[in-house]
Structure 1
Amino acid sequence: ALRNFLWENGVVRAKGIEGKEEAGAKFSDYFDYAEPIRQIPSHRALALFRGRKEEFLTISLGLPEEPPPGQMGPCESRIALRFGIAAQGRAADTWLLDVARWCWRVKVSVHLELDLMNRLFEQAEEEAIRVFAGNLRDLLLAAPAGMRPTLALDPGFRTGTKVAVVDATGKLLDTATIYPHEPQRRYEEAINLVAALCQKHNVQLIAIGNGTASRETDRFAADLLARFPALKATKVMVSEAGASVYSASAFASQEFPSIDVSIRGAISIGRRLQDPLAELVKIDPKSIGVGQYQHDVSESKLSRMLDAVVEDCVNGVGVDLNTASVPLLTRVSGLNETLARNIIAWRDAQGAFRNRNQLKEIARLGPKAFEQAAGFLRIRGGDEPLDASSVHPEAYPVVRKIAQSVAKPVAEVIGDSATLRGLNPASFADDRFGLPTVQDILRELDKPGRDPRPEFKTATFKDGVEELKDLQPGMLLEGVVTNVAAFGAFVDIGVHQDGLVHVSALSTKFVKDPREVVKPGQVVKVKVLEVDIKRKRVGLTMRLDDPMDGTAAPRSSGPRPSGPHEASPRPQPQKPGQGRPQQPARAPQSRPEPAGDGVFAAALLKARQNKR
């Protein structure tokens, strides 16, 4: 009963540790903080626990109002009532009441504080893992630019900008290092070299990493396209998240043993523009950086969830059997790293797969693995048209039955919407393939090999806005969502520091979960609300019609968010949440009736009710 009472009415208080205010400035919003424990959102809870772990904060759990000295609080009163302790004029009554107070203060409250703080952390951890998993799914299923020859630029100043050219299948064609920026300023040499590479390999896409010197390199690419209009290429800013992890990985060393580590990063940037899913599966999901406080949660729980998300995305999109890498094949249901390597070895020795049945020739790939994996593996331009779809080989007889019913070859039935929509699915169902399966088959035949990912779009950063000092309140900008947290969304607007759109500024309607409105990789229009250059914070809004005088446009009906504005520009997702803490709810005027047993408890409860 006390545990439930404290969860419903308890208040978490945080204080900054004296003498550590400057070192712990990022936790300054929690130096004098109080909030009801059951109302604390996950990001603030994890920020509090991190602040305590790093010894910048002290955290305690108590009630909104402490009882005056010498009087019993609601928790002590419940203990006394439970054991029939009351001031009845007996010699030991005072001593017994002191025991009840001592019991709460020294024993029960300490135990319950630990218990409820663990409960708060577990809830926050679960929410943080859910947010990370959702963001990872959105990032993996981001729109691919398509299989087109791509030149990738990994920007840099002192060490130069790394250049890599990959063909439409992601195969490395050429590499170089250019020095168009400070301190060397070999601009003309760089622009002529890149132009020659674009012409030589018929480049259609230019991928630019969004790290250091990205805006300068973006201007360089714009100048390149202006000087050489015949190139007909499109430049796109690409997230570098995890590229350095891939560059130094064992797989990258096996894939490009003679290529410098820095060049491998450029290759990764170019490939992830072509197909984000195929490239990002090579990177540990935790290194992609689209979560909140991922370093504070259980690594095993997070890994299990993220691995499941990656596998689900890979299977949902499907894998081209003749171009897939080992990491990508490993994520297919039924396959592991050994089978993936065996598939690649067979492909290297025998050439491209012509049909799915050839998978049965792979060493150690048995009937069960074939049954699980075959439907997710695609063969385009092979002997069997159905191999390019998600229809499982076991269901091919159903498709042939459908083709026979309309007197057309299977190849002509695929994609023939008019014919397929005129069929009755029930007429093709049997004991082995039920109605839902037949309906799925017909949908797949209507749009064979359909990709669930959206259409590719790019953001255009505003010219002249390259650093924080270039931003002014009221500016309308275009940007790309880089991360979504429980309190809002971070948006890259091209100033090397993501701005934050607080959850309350995402829409004129009430938003409970920011992922209902935005997803990583989405192109959005935002307005600058405030810029704090010293703290490197940018506040943004997607409510573009709101005036800049502090008043807000009316929202539609619905509950209002209880959290404050946690304005923070680009802290990495694992940094503490920001914002003014909301004040704790005042204690209720009438306390809940304590639970008790026995004649004394019943009599006391009746007396209190009569008094009221």
Structure 2
Amino acid sequence: MNAIQFITQNTQLDSKSVANTVSLLEEDCTVPFIARYRKERTGNLDELQIGAIVKFKEAFVALEKRKATILKAIEEQDALTPELKSKIEQTVDTTVLEDIYLPFKKSRKTKAEKARKNGLEPLAKIIMAQRTTDLEFTAGKYANANVPDEAAALEGARHIIAEWINERTDIRNQIRTQLEKYAQLETKVIGTKKDDEKAQKYQDYYDWNESLSRCPSHRLLAILRAESEGFIRVKISIDDDRALDSIDRKVIKSNNACADQIAMAVEDAYKRLLLPSLSNEILKQAKEKADEAAIAVFTKNLRQLLLAPPLGEKRILAIDPGFRTGCKLVCLDANGNLLHNETIYPHPPQKQLREASKKIASLVDAYKIEAIAIGNGTASRETENLVKNTPFKRDLEVFVVSEAGASIYSASKIARDEFPNYDVTVRGAVSIGRRLADPLAELVKIDAKSIGVGQYQHDVDQTKLKTALDTVVESCVNSVGVNVNTASESLLSYVSGIGPKLAENIVNHRAENGAFTSREAIKKVPRLGGKAFEQAAGFLRIRDAENPLDDSAVHPESYGIVKQMAKDQGIPLTKIVRNTAVLKNIDLKKYQTETIGLPTLQDILEELEKPGLDRREKAKAFTFDQNIRTIDDLRSGQLLPGIVNNITNFGCFVDVGIKESGLIHVSNLSDSYVSDVNSIVSLHQQVIVKVLEVDIKRKRIQLMLHKG
């Protein structure tokens, strides 16, 4: 089986589409570029489908690499037969491949290997034949200096038989099937850890028993975390009698002394070799599935967060609130540049409320502020109240902005490079303001894991998590497009075909030579060659360019087609853009070529109608219930406004304006069964919730989504 067949089998996509996509990937084309600008070659595959092709292409490469390693290892043992080689080469499943290889990767310290060295393999074969009538007499013949008597000989022979049983693929698959269907996940608290304060959050799992196949991903990850932290022990179990009986039926064909020895070997093989190995395998597979589920939640949340509504190019006063250390104020221009910063102390212990209010009002006037952004951390509600009670000479929108990850950014190299002459408090406040203006442009500067919109992100496979999150960031950046003259190095690095080094070169070239006036001018950036330009150009925008297409998603390779459209309509290129009356009369079939078909032409037409359109909604201001300041103010039955600030597989968390977020369990999201929380709510959605239960001691709040 070749790569195309392997990918097609696993994705169920058209083989021609797969082959063409693989070809594009091997030409160093990126997923966003392929999805947007090579629809004719892929059969209009979307990013998810192309991503699946990438995944299974990598899996095939890894499989082939493992096959080569195994073939070499067996060949070095002079054990590679033509039949075995063919069997390995035709295998498309890694589990099957490892089962084939199992007999050839023995450790020289196994009990079976020791028995072989003592000359007991012939005895093991005699026993397995199950034809001898006087087994003790036969066993006695194998006594030697290392084997004192027939009992020792029989024990050694059983070790060899146990290994044979362990290596049988049919038996391993039989036990695998039982584990897949019937495995129980059992936990026990470690006695000395039972009263440990840190262990209390895991008390639900001190004595837990559940079907492994039905264990939700979030619970499995919590249990495995508790085990890794040393608070509980985890065990996988099945019905031992049923498992042993199923093996006995496969290997015992008589009713004599040999059968008794084989039965003993079966039990040894099962308990010492098969069950520990396959239990670990099934638990590893369950962990991988749980990882995939957790990563899927994280990527959905991250996508929603990155594509959160931006306020746009507004002059913003951002406030990083605090009590003792005061509130840091920064004023930003419409492009997010820092104009001014200082600190006010409206809250205890200083309580300079009047002075603080006066200062905010004067800064709003001085810098023509259009919106105020307040971080949602400590003293957020108090600061929001201060701002809303401050009289302004103009109408202002006031926003509470998530601070998640802001401290990570403010101490990062990126922040130090951006603001070398300011401390972390100023950088943090700037980040809060810029998040309001454009969440995507600011959040790409922060490690996605630090944003805190997932579940058990530190427990899942970190390599897979990083790959998945990077893919989401890349997808979001390219779906929105980037203003090449204002974008940060971090944002540019996620543009298709660019990467960190070229992003740095673009920013340096921009600083030395001024703003880019056209897409063509981007080619002058050092080391930005033809391939990089091809991949990136359609996602880079040039505002107010001479050619209006430079501020659109129309790729430069298609400019000729648009020019021909304008010529055929008897108007200049500048007049075809946003000209709905002209555009609706264009016959796209007239402009089809061997490489550009109707899907791409339709995209071009849509882009000409609304070039460079940011499909994100505009940010909306939100007000919490002013009577709710702490968890002590909550009562069952209250209806409160809130903002969804995290989504998991078991529900969503809602910020109701206090330190603790409340949980809407999946069962309280709808009157009907909910299979996907994201189908009901989205990150940063403004909702009304009903308080069901408040546990002040454990700082837990149970909520229900209000449907009224």
TM-score in terms of structure 2 length: 0.73
Q: Which amino acid aligns with 1:269?
A: I
Cα distance in 2, alignment partners of residues 155 and 162 from structure 1 = 7
Letter in 2 for 1:426: K
Q: Is the 8 A contact 1:203 1:231 kept in 2?
A: no
**Aligned residue type for 1:496:** K
Q: Contact 1:457–1:523 (CA<8 Å) still a contact in 2? A: no
Q: Residues 95, 150 of structure 1: CA spacing in aligned structure 2 closer, same or farther, 3 A cutoff? A: same
Looking at structure 1, the residues matched to 594 and 241 of structure 2 have their Cα atoms a distance apart, in angstroms, of: 68
What are the Cα deviations for residues 23-70 of structure 1, in whole angstroms up to 9, with x where unaligned?
21101111222211111121111101000001111111113xx5xxxx
Is 1:82 aligned to 2:250, yes or no?
yes
| Cα separation, 1, equivalents of 2:639 and 2:653 | 16
| Partner of residue 168 from structure 1, selected from 325, 331, 334 | 334
Instruction: Give the counterpart letter for 1:52 in structure 2.
Output: E
Amino acid of the structure 2 residue aligned with 1:59 = V
Alpha-carbon contact 1:152-1:164 (below 8 Å) kept: yes
Which SS does the other structure have where 1:193 is aligned? helix
Amino acid at match of 1:172: L
Aligned residue among 107, 127, 130 for 2:296? 130
Do 1:508 and 1:543's aligned partners in 2 also have CA atoms closer than 8 Å? no
Give the corresponding residue for 1:356: 519
Give 1:190 shift. Answer: 0.9
User: Residue 524 of structure 1 corresponds to which residue in structure 2?
Assistant: 687
Residue pair 1:207, 1:273 contacting (<8 A) in 2 also:
yes
| Partner of residue 266 from structure 1, selected from 411, 424, 429 | 429
| 1:334 maps onto 2:334 in alignment | no
1:38 aligns with 2:213: yes
- Counterpart Cα distance in 2 of 1:397 and 1:144: 34
- Do the aligned partners of residues 26 and 375 (structure 1) sit closer, same or farther apart at CA in structure 2, a change above 3 Å counting? same
> Is the counterpart of residue 280 in structure 1 residue 443 in structure 2?
yes
Q: Does 1:432 align with 2:576?
A: no
Residues 445-464 of structure 1 deviation map (CA, whole Å, 9 limit, x = unaligned): 11211212233223321111
- State the match for 1:195 in structure 2: 361
Tell me which of 581, 584, 602 is aligned to 1:421: 584
Q: Is the 8 A contact 1:505 1:543 kept in 2?
A: no
Decide whether aligned partners of structure 1 residues 94 and 368 sit closer, same or farther in structure 2, where only a CA change above 3 A counts: closer
Q: 2:183 aligns with which of 10, 19, 33?
A: 10
**What are the residue-to-residue correspondences of 1:228-377 with 2, within 5 Å?**
228=392, 230-377=393-540
- 1:379 is aligned to 2:542: yes
AA matched with 1:106: R
CA distance in 1, matches of 2:522, 2:620: 36
| Structure 2 match to 1:49 | 224
Give SS of 2:485's match.
Answer: coil
Residue identity opposite 2:297 in structure 1: V
More helix by share: 2
- The Cα of 1:92 is off from its aligned counterpart by 6.2
Q: Residues 317 and 364 of structure 2 are in contact (CA less than 8 Å); yes or no, is this contact kept in structure 1? A: yes
Residue segments in structure 2 that go unaligned for 5+ positions in a row: 1-173
Percent identity between the two aligned chains: 46
Please give the alpha-carbon distance, in whole angstroms, between the structure 1 residues aligned to 2:497 and 2:271.
Answer: 56
Q: How does 1:473-484 map to 2 (within 5 A)?
A: 473-484=636-647
Residue 191 of structure 2 aligns to a residue in which SS? Answer: coil
SS of residue paired to 1:277: helix
Supply the distance in 1 between the matched residues of 2:223 and 2:249 (Cα, whole angstroms).
35
CA distance in 1: counterparts of 2:504 and 2:266, whole angstroms: 68
SS of structure 2 residue aligned to 1:489? strand
Distance 1:541 1:3 in 2: 41
Greater Rg, structure 1 or structure 2?
A: 2
Note the alpha carbon deviations across 1:564-612, whole angstroms, 9 max, x for none. xxxxxxxxxxxxxxxxxxxxxxxxxxxxxxxxxxxxxxxxxxxxxxxxx
- What's 1:61 paired with? 236
Tell me the amino acid that sits aligned with residue 5 of structure 1: Q
Superposed displacement of residue 356, structure 1: 0.9
The residue identity in structure 2 corresponding to 1:209 is: G
Q: Match of 2:109?
A: none
Q: Distance in 1 between matches of 2:706 and 2:341?
A: 44
Distance between the aligned counterparts of 1:515 and 1:474, measured in 2? 25
1:453-472 aligned within 5 A: 453-472=616-635
Tell me by how many angstroms 1:201 deviates: 0.7
User: In the alignment, what sits opposite 1:553?
Assistant: none
Whole-Å Cα distance in 2 between the matches of residues 432 and 112 of structure 1? Answer: 51
One-letter amino acid matched to 2:671 = T
Distance apart, 1:424 and its partner CA = 2.1
Closer, same or farther in 2 for the Cα pair 1:349/1:107, shift >3 Å? closer
Whole-angstrom CA distance in 1 between matches of 2:585 and 2:635: 58
Give the letter aligned to residue 73 of structure 1.
D
Distance 1:152 1:131 in 2: 30
Partner of 1:601: none
Opposite residue 185 of structure 2, the aligned amino acid is: V
Cα RMSD after superposing both structures: 1.7
SS in 2 for 1:33: strand
> SS of the counterpart of 1:478?
strand
* Secondary structure of residue in 1 paired with 2:193: coil
Q: Is the 8 A contact 1:85 1:97 kept in 2?
A: no
Deviations 1:350-388 (A, max 9, x none): 322221111122121111111111111111111111111
Q: Is the 8 A contact 1:140 1:310 kept in 2?
A: yes
User: Is 1:29 equivalent to 2:204 in the alignment?
Assistant: yes
Q: Is the 8 A contact 1:486 1:513 kept in 2?
A: yes
